[in-house]
């Protein structure tokens, strides 16, 4: 959300009418899944991410995610991430290792399907 003062600026005008859809899902035994989609003023998806958080041990966590931008030509520009490490204590910063990679065609197809499903649900269909 942006205040009217921000939307009145040139930078703010560029995002006027944008919406965000966020869906938290159970990932079964895996843990939690969060899907995030940003829509432009015409309700077209311009970016999306799909993150799944796993608990791999009593104090170990893992996150697999893919996210990026849908380009005007229909292509997708983004990154796939694998992050793993010990779960931090409340007063300690995380000590995780993150590895980026190029998303596969299957990753992109799955993300597009999730976006389509979210738009269908948001539209009440």
Q: In which domain, by residue range, is 38 found?
A: 18-110
The continuous run of DSSP H or E covering 11 comes out as helix 10-13
Look up the pTM and report it.
0.72
What gap in Å lies between CA 26 and CA 7, rounded to an integer? Answer: 35
Average pLDDT over residues 42-56: 85
Q: Total domain count for the chain?
A: 1
In a domain, residue 117? The reply is no
Say what the pLDDT of residue 32 is: 82
In a domain, residue 63? The reply is yes
Q: Is the pLDDT of residue 21 over 80?
A: no
In a domain, residue 3? The reply is no
Average pLDDT over residues 46-61: 84
In a domain, residue 2? The reply is no
What gap in Å lies between CA 71 and CA 44, rounded to an integer? Answer: 11
In a domain, residue 83? The reply is yes
pLDDT in tens, 85-97: 887 777 778 788 8
Query: For residue 11, what are its two tokens?
Result: 């930078």
In a domain, residue 37? The reply is yes
């Amino acid at each position: 959300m942006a205040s009217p003062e921000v939307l009145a600026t040139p930078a703010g005008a560029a995002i006027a009418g944008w919406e965000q859809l966020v869906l938290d899902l159970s990932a079964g035994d895996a843990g939690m899944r969060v899907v995030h989609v940003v829509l432009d003023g015409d309700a077209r998806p311009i970016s999306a991410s799909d993150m799944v958080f796993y608990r791999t041990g009593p104090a170990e966590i893992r996150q697999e995610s893919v996210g990026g931008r849908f380009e005007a030509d229909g292509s997708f520009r983004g990154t796939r991430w694998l992050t793993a490490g010990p779960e931090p204590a409340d007063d300690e910063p995380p000590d995780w290792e993150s590895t980026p990679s190029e998303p596969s065609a299957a990753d992109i197809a799955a993300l597009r399907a999730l976006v389509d499903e979210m738009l269908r649900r948001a539209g009440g269909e």
